[in-house]
Structures are given as C-alpha cells and as structure tokens.
Structure 1
Amino acid sequence: MNATSSRLNRALPLIAPGTELRDGLDRIVQGRTGALVTLGNNARLQALATGGFAIDVAFTGTALRELAKMDGAIILNDALDRILFAGVHLMPDASVETSETGTRHRTADRVASQTGVPTVTVSASMSTISLFVDGRRWVVQRPEQLLARANQALATLARYATRLNEATARLSAAEVHDAAAVRDIALVAQRLEMVRRLQQEVNGYAIELGTDGRLVRLQLRELVMGLDQLGTQLERDYADGAAPLRLAPLAALDSDDLAHPALIARACGLGDDLGLRVSARGHRQLAQIAQLSPEVAETLVVHFGDLQALFGASTSDLLGVDGVDYAIARAVREGLIRLAESAYAERLD
C-alpha cells in the first residue's frame, strides 16, 4: 500500500471495518447482490445523474442493503450519514479512459475520475468490494486477510528495526574512535529506508483495518519510536561535509538498488568512495543525553564544531558555553563517557 495517494488514504477509513458504511457493504456482499455507491455528492456528479429517487433519509447499513436490491447507483452525502438518491442512472463521459471491463466497474471508475467523488462497487459475481479514487481501483480485503499480512509485516519490521539498531551502534562506535566512513553511514541509511518502507506498508494495513487495526497501530508505534528523529539527526551530523547527507532521495531507489551500499551513498549525496572518512558533528549523540535541551545541544555543537572536540572538552571548557551550568556540564561529560564505554564494548564484540 506504499504507493497509495493521499485521497485514497483518506477514503479507505470511510469503508473500514467498524464503520456503518462497511457494515452495509458487507451485508450487500452476504446477500450476493451488486451495488454502486458514491461516497459524496457534488454538482459534477449531479450532472451525470438521471432518473432514480430522491429520498434523503438517514444512513443505515440495513437501508443500504435494501436499496442495493434495486438497479442503479446510490448517492450518499459528503458526511456519509444520509442517503440522498437511489436507483440513479449515472452516465459518465465515455471518453474517460478506464481499464475496467464490467459495466458497473467501468461506470464507477469513470464517475470517480470525472467528479472527484470516491465511488464503491460491490461485485455480485465475485463477492468483492472495490473503491475507485483518482482513476485507480482498490480491492478491499477481508479483515482476516489484512490482519495476517499486517502481522507478517510487523514481524519483518521488528527484525529490520533490530538490524537498524545494530548498524547505528556500529556507527556510534566508529564515530567515537573517529573512524566513521561513508560505508557506515550508507548501512544505517539503508536500514532506515527499509524500516520506513515497512512502516508505510503496515500503516496502510492499519488504515484499511479501521477499528480492527488498534493493536497493529500500537505495535507499529512502538517499533518505529524515535526513527524520525534518527534520520534528522544523521542529516544534521553530516550536513557540513563536502557531500552533505540527504536521506529523502532513497525513496526513489528500487529494492534491488537499495541492496548496494555504493548506490545508496551516491543517492544520499555522499559520493562514490565508501572508505572516505567522515566526522560527525555530535547532534545524534547529544540527543541521547536526557538532561540536555535541544537548544543547549545546538549551542554546544556550534561552539565545539564536531564530536571529537566535544569528547576533548573539559568541564571548564563546557562551562564557558552560553547556557551551560555545572549540572549540564556534568551531564554532558557523563553522557559522553557512557557513549565511549558503549563504543569500546561494541568494538570488542
């Protein structure tokens, strides 16, 4: 689901399990009848509508099921809490391109493209629900299918998150020893992008699951906590070199390219030399010190210039920085010492 449009992402929760609309659609599927339902109404849609009945009644799942027994489309209001018309004949422009073959699906695709109103069909022969948005058809899966895929994706995400933590720890160790290279950053960037893609996939399943996706969303939130900050901190740590780090271009790489560190380094703007030594400014390391505010951390980085200078700073050196008192200086010194000890242990492993 990582290629979905924002309009599709907004439309999917409207027909997710737990909603009154989904209850009505499921009733239609169980009754083995078809349906064409527009999730909203506007002037462009009205220009395509002929015949039918203006009923303007409160929406219920059972009412939708009964009205679907008639031929023609059902038009809902924008809030989806009223059924405005039933038995409507929709006549979209036949020149609007569509790859659909069935009459109901062709009409729904063209109506959604021509009016901008998300449109849902229920196939009587296939017992499937399809959502049409922006010239695209999205087949709605059953909750048990979505949960199985979401759980599989969560398990994969957990493994990649572990590998990302390992790669980040190795980068930290290299930074402490002033031995970090482009290869180390490329590995972290690779794992971060893989986690981002899996996060997007799981989030898509959670959107489709609606109320049934609560546990999926909780697990996802726990697995990716802090990763947005990690990407930002990496970019800030390596923003001042000859080739500033940029992670956004990795989204354009396909899965095969993402397996090659050289292609990752090039896409990130780090050049072609994987062995090139680089120096961190210290944003990521200082962010791990709980007692340190972002403003003071920024002041320290600007004052000392890079992580190695921070390691070499004495307490008196730190006290000479604006906004740093003895408690902050002590917290910085202790935090950097813990970092050095962790780096030493990482090297021993």
Structure 2
Amino acid sequence: MGEELRHQIEKGVINFLDVLRIVSPGTSLRAAIDDVVRAGMGALILVEADGIEDVIDGGFKVDCNFTQQRLIELCKMDGGIVLSGDLKRILYSNVLVVPDHTLPTQETGTRHKAAERIAKQLKTLVIAISERRKKVTLYYNQSRYELTNTEDILRRTNETLRILEKQRELYDELITNLNVSEITGLVALSDVCSVLQRIQIILKMEDLLKKAVVELGQEGIIVRMRLREIMGDIDKTKHLILKDYTGNSIEIIEEKLDELDFHNLLDTTTFAKLLFDSSPESSITPQGYRIIGKTSLTEQEINSLIKHFDNLNSLLESDETDLIKIIGHKAVSFTQDLKKLKEQIMMGKKV
C-alpha cells in the first residue's frame, strides 16, 4: 500500500481486501508472522494511527527499518509492537497496550481483547497472534478475520474453481439456447432467467475466489489467471441481456440481483416475478443489443437500428432497403454478418 497506507487507515477508506493484501503470502510482514507462529510465540502488532501514543505505555522506542528478522526478535518480548503506517519501520516495542475498556469486545483472551478494542478505537489494523492456538487474527476498525493456512486456502480454492468451471459449462449451454431462441423469435422469460440466474451464481462464486486470491498473495497467481479465463466476458453479457430485456431499468434490476441469495437465485418462478413481474412461461422479445453487437456495426449504428425497429424480431424481418436508409452502405456487410451469425447460432456454435 506504500506511503498512502497510513492516511488511508486514518481516513478509514481501505476495505478489508486491502488489509488482506498487506499480510498476504509473499510480503515481508506475512513471512515474519508465519515465523512467529512456527516458533510458538504470541504477538500483538499495531499499525500506527492518530492517537496511537495515547493507548500505549512503557516499552521503548525502536524507530528502525522493518525487517522480518527484527520483528521476530522483538516478538520474543511480552509487550506490543507498533509499526509505521507505511509498514517500513518498527516504531515501538514491548509496549503495554491500554485501550478504552468501555468498548465492547467478543474476545476472551487479554491480547485479543486489547487488539479488538484498539482496532475499533483508532480505526487501524491490529494483528494478534495466539501462541497457544497458533492462530493469527486481524482486526481492522469493526472487522475481524482469522487467517487460514495457505495450503487449506489453496485446497478450498481449487475445489471452488472446479465447481465454477462446471457452472461456466452450464452457462455456455444456456447462452447457446438463448441465442437460438432470440434468432427464431421464440424467447420465453424462463430462457432469460436461466441465463441470468447462472450468471449471478458465477459472479457470487467469483467474489469468493477474489477474496481467496488476495489472501493467497503470490501463491494465488495461477488461480487468478484461471479465474480470469473462466469469467471471460460474463459481466458484459449480463449488461447486454439486461439492456435487451429491461430497457432503462438496468440499475434497479442489478440492485435486485445483488440482493438475492443462492436460495432465491435457484427458484425461477420467484426470480421471474421479482425481476420482471411475470411468469417464466411468458413470451418476451429482446431489443437486440447483444446479438447485433456481434456484428461489425458501431455502437451508434446499433442504437440507430434498434431505435428504428424497436426490437430484434422486427430488425431480423427487415430487408436491405430498410437498412440502407439507416446505416447506408454498411447495410450490405451487415446483412452478410447477420446471415453468417444466424448460421453459426443454428448450428449450435459459440458466437
């Protein structure tokens, strides 16, 4: 996070994923933490913030460059350690931490109680290492997170990736079916809902994996690459489907989608009622943004066509003369693109 870390912590503008990056595998801080755990030692590590000197007592001022070895050596003492906001220096060691004891805490151990209260009081990052349980707990503002062993995260992440790959295969089948339905003018609301349901499930799984990738640090590079491959253009497809079937209500629909849990996502009737206020069996006609977007037309030309023809069915039934009036000489190449696109879709090919 560099020089900005201290200011971001003080302003409370970093999220918990940023906090996880600070202690992810591959960082000097994480290497030191792992060594402390392996050595069977406990520790209380605070990141500097406004008011830090009001909550520490005793100890001694170190003010030296941060190194993995120095932190490990200082953790051999009982007191807390204070790091600079940019994590480049060790400021204090062996300090007694005296937070506001009126602040509520869910912890039972003395070290972890102090850590939670300091994090809440100063809105900073505090790391507590339990020598008995060999566990590392992060506290930032009101948040608490227990670090998981890297091998366990990798195992769980690989399992989730396999499930995500299967979901992607199901999505590809559903989007192929929707392509055929749109080209033939036989779209049922259930076709649209099935694709959107699968997209939302995939996006929720992506969020879980993104968090794991951050926590894995350098160990998560391959997972990050595979996740990017699986996701492809799903976000763009979702936006175009919503544009095709909801018009100007995209933001409202997206908010509703984000609020759905896995249970409601799997119930097509509830899904269709909530998003479209209709039954899954209802017929529905796309405007055509997604399908026409696969041709060589510009966005402006696509908008002009859809504004004129109103929907995809009418556009597909038009002749070249009608098209020339709107997109001029490009009508010929567009007609050829559309013919080729129809053939690919009807053959079940991915477009």
Output the TM-score relative to the length of structure 2. 0.90
Return the alpha-carbon distance in structure 2 between the equivalents of residues 295 and 37 of structure 1. 56
1:271 to 250, 273, 277: 277
1:283 to 284, 289, 292: 289
Q: Tell me which residue corresponds to 2:106.
A: 99
Q: Tell me which residue corresponds to 2:33.
A: 25
Give how far 1:244 is off.
9.8
Q: Tell me which residue corresponds to 1:182.
A: 189
Q: Tell me which residue corresponds to 2:264.
A: 257
Q: Which moved more, 1:244-253 or 1:188-197?
A: 244-253
Return the alpha-carbon distance in structure 2 between the equivalents of residues 19 and 173 of structure 1. 50
SS of the residue 1:179 aligns to? coil
Return the alpha-carbon distance in structure 2 between the equivalents of residues 336 and 245 of structure 1. 32
Structure 1 residues 240 and 25: CA distance shift in structure 2, 3 A: closer
Percent of aligned pairs sharing the same letter: 27
Return the alpha-carbon distance in structure 2 between the equivalents of residues 272 and 6 of structure 1. 41
Q: Deviations over 1:301-341 (max 9, x none)?
A: 222211112212223322221xx353x32342233223333
Q: Tell me which residue corresponds to 2:21.
A: 13
1:307 aligns with 2:304: no
Give how far 1:194 is off.
0.4
Counterparts of residues 55-66 of structure 1 (less than 5 Å): 55-66=62-73
Give how far 1:58 is off.
0.4
Return the alpha-carbon distance in structure 2 between the equivalents of residues 133 and 10 of structure 1. 11
The code of the aligned residue for 1:70 comes to M
Return the alpha-carbon distance in structure 1 between the equivalents of residues 313 and 56 of structure 2. 70
Give how far 1:277 is off.
1.1
Return the alpha-carbon distance in structure 2 between the equivalents of residues 94 and 298 of structure 1. 62
Q: 1:27–1:62: 8 Å Cα contact kept in structure 2?
A: no
Q: Deviations over 1:41-66 (max 9, x none)?
A: 12232221111211111001111100
Q: Deviations over 1:210-257 (max 9, x none)?
A: 111111111111111111111110111012499998233122222222
Return the alpha-carbon distance in structure 2 between the equivalents of residues 91 and 132 of structure 1. 16
SS of the residue 1:280 aligns to? coil
Q: Tell me which residue corresponds to 2:5.
A: none
1:36 aligns with 2:44: yes
The alignment of Structure 1 onto Structure 2 pairs a total of residues equal to: 337
Q: 1:98–1:135: 8 Å Cα contact kept in structure 2?
A: no
Return the alpha-carbon distance in structure 2 between the equivalents of residues 228 and 136 of structure 1. 29
SS of the residue 2:94 aligns to? strand
1:222 aligns with 2:224: no
Structure 1 residues 173 and 236: CA distance shift in structure 2, 3 A: same
Q: Deviations over 1:56-106 (max 9, x none)?
A: 110011111001111111111111111111111111112211111111111
Give how far 1:343 is off.
4.2
Structure 1 residues 245 and 302: CA distance shift in structure 2, 3 A: farther
Q: 2:80–2:93: 8 Å Cα contact kept in structure 1?
A: yes
Return the alpha-carbon distance in structure 2 between the equivalents of residues 63 and 223 of structure 1. 42
Q: Tell me which residue corresponds to 1:329.
A: 331
SS of the residue 2:63 aligns to? strand
Give how far 1:176 is off.
1.6
User: For structure 2, which runs of at least 5 residues remain unmatched after alignment?
Assistant: 1-12
Q: 2:243–2:250: 8 Å Cα contact kept in structure 1?
A: no
Q: 1:189–1:247: 8 Å Cα contact kept in structure 2?
A: no
Return the alpha-carbon distance in structure 2 between the equivalents of residues 48 and 199 of structure 1. 40
SS of the residue 1:129 aligns to? strand
Return the alpha-carbon distance in structure 1 between the equivalents of residues 274 and 138 of structure 2. 36
SS of the residue 1:246 aligns to? helix
Q: Tell me which residue corresponds to 2:325.
A: 320
RMSD (CA atoms): 2.1
SS of the residue 1:138 aligns to? strand
Q: Deviations over 1:104-148 (max 9, x none)?
A: 111111111111101111110111211112323211112211111
Q: Deviations over 1:254-273 (max 9, x none)?
A: 222221101111332x0132
Return the alpha-carbon distance in structure 1 between the equivalents of residues 170 and 252 of structure 2. 21
Q: 1:122–1:128: 8 Å Cα contact kept in structure 2?
A: yes
Structure 1 residues 71 and 331: CA distance shift in structure 2, 3 A: farther
Structure 1 residues 243 and 19: CA distance shift in structure 2, 3 A: closer
Return the alpha-carbon distance in structure 2 between the equivalents of residues 102 and 335 of structure 1. 68
Structure 1 residues 164 and 10: CA distance shift in structure 2, 3 A: same
1:213 aligns with 2:220: yes
Structure 1 outlier segments of 4+, above 3 Å: 240-245, 342-347
Q: Tell me which residue corresponds to 2:9.
A: none
The code of the aligned residue for 1:279 comes to T
Output the TM-score relative to the length of structure 1. 0.91
SS of the residue 2:253 aligns to? coil
